[in-house]
Amino acid sequence: MRREQNRLDSFHPWTLSIITPSELAKAGFYFLGQGDRVACFSCGGQLSNWEPGDRAVSEHQRHYPNCRFVRGDRADNVSLASGGVSSQLPSGASALNNVSNNAMQLSDERLLTFVNWPSRIPVRPDQLAKAGFYYVGRNDDVKCFCCDGGLRCWESGDDPWVEHAKWFPRCEYLLQEKGQEFVHQIQARFPRLFEQLLSNGDSRSREFTDPPVIHLGPGEERSEDAVMMNTPVIKSALEMGFERSLVKQTVQSKILTSGENYRTVQELVSDLLSAEDQKREEEREMVAEAMASDGFTFVKRHQAALIQRLKSVEPVLEHLREQTVISTEEYGGLKAQTSAQQQTARLIELILTKGNAAAEVFRNWIQKNDVHLLRDLMAVSNEAASPSQDLSDLPMEEQLRRLQEERTCKVCMDKEVNIVFIPCGHLVVCKECAPSLRKCPICRGLVKGTVRTFLS
């Protein structure tokens, strides 16, 4: 990103009107693709939440005064005026037909994004950059510049090229650099992985009810289930007394992540015991949370629905300020948000950080002043807990409304869903909202990667 032109190209799309991409690029910043967050190519410093009157250079100097670029060292910068923006792409890169992020075609440019890469992550930035990935500035999330595939939760021993071929086998850059034979070899090690992932979406209603495992069908009459659950290893575990549902979930997760079933009883039992421990820990946390903080539990449980459905933000902000739940400064910051939904999202986040006392005041206001919202929240909980009705029994207008709702991002409630989470397979968010989620909002399963889809 040392080239100003590349920084400028990264601002697509950029929706903020209070500060222009050209000003930000000239001040050393490039767009990270999330909200209004930008990063400096030189020091790696990140800025967001731009407000009217902000100037890119001034904010850069104020927050990162020791940045070499800010202090006048422009040796690494190639400005638009210098004419040095027509650098050569790597051999063959110009032949790529479908590139998601043109500014990241050069491996060196991708490597520069890893300036703040967490040192605890066991995969090196140069390996990731060479495999086509750039750092998006959050946790250990990376994306491919070509296919836009996203991966996270890197573990010791992970090979970026292998993971690229495993999850995104049709990527043009991958095929160009490693060849079809390499991709075939990786896919052979993980047969039907992609199809198993996408099969989770064969029923629209399943988006709201399935557990965080691959979906192979209702019951175990189908041949895949019969084979999966009737090996000697699986039968031995069942005879030991492990719950069948737990065994099935554990086996399905194993197949999804490794491409093969368990080969030894010891390995399966070890994973089952770990799964039981995790389940017990989650139950303990839920019980402790419910007993210690009723208000907090309410807000946490309905967080996504509150962001989507709370319409009257102004009255609740006034009430919380009057009750000294939020300070005048916090009130002003919330009021400065550009939309009611952004105000609500920030408000919910703030309440959760303040704990149960703040959550109680917020919940009590809803119970007293917004009965309709309370009913909506209960209805959402009931819909998630019970099977959805057959749409064919509903009037055509209602069918269309529900189908449209199912295709709408469950976080921003605006854009169309187009991101499938790995490994759970749920398709419920848009590409703008996906980077901010570590867990799937439907099943709460850990998101290890993303696949972009296009709905017909």
The structural domains of the chain, ordered by start, are: 4-82 (1.10.1170.10), 99-189 (1.10.1170.10), 220-289 (1.10.8.10), 294-385 (1.10.533.10), 397-452 (3.30.40.10)
Long-range contacts made by residues 344-350, C-beta under 8 angstroms, separation at least 24?
344/306, 344/307, 344/310, 344/313, 345/307, 347/313, 347/316, 347/317, 347/320, 348/299, 348/303, 348/306, 348/307, 350/326
Question: Which pTM value belongs to this model?
Answer: 0.37
**Tens-binned pLDDT, residue by residue, of the chain (456 aa):** 788 888 888 887 788 888 888 889 888 999 988 888 999 988 888 999 898 878 888 889 888 888 888 877 776 787 765 444 333 344 334 457 778 888 888 888 899 899 889 989 999 999 999 999 999 888 888 999 988 888 888 988 899 999 999 888 888 899 888 888 888 888 888 765 544 444 443 332 323 223 223 233 334 434 445 556 778 888 877 777 778 888 887 887 777 667 778 888 888 888 888 878 777 776 565 445 444 447 888 888 778 778 877 877 888 899 999 999 999 889 888 888 877 778 888 888 899 888 888 888 988 888 788 766 766 665 554 444 433 444 555 666 666 666 777 788 877 778 888 888 877 778 888 888 888 777 777 766 777 777 777 765
For Cα atoms 245, 194, 141, give the angle at the middle one, nearest 5 degrees.
95
Tokens of 166: 């495993």
Residue of 206, 304, 194, 312 lying closest to 259 (CA atoms): 194
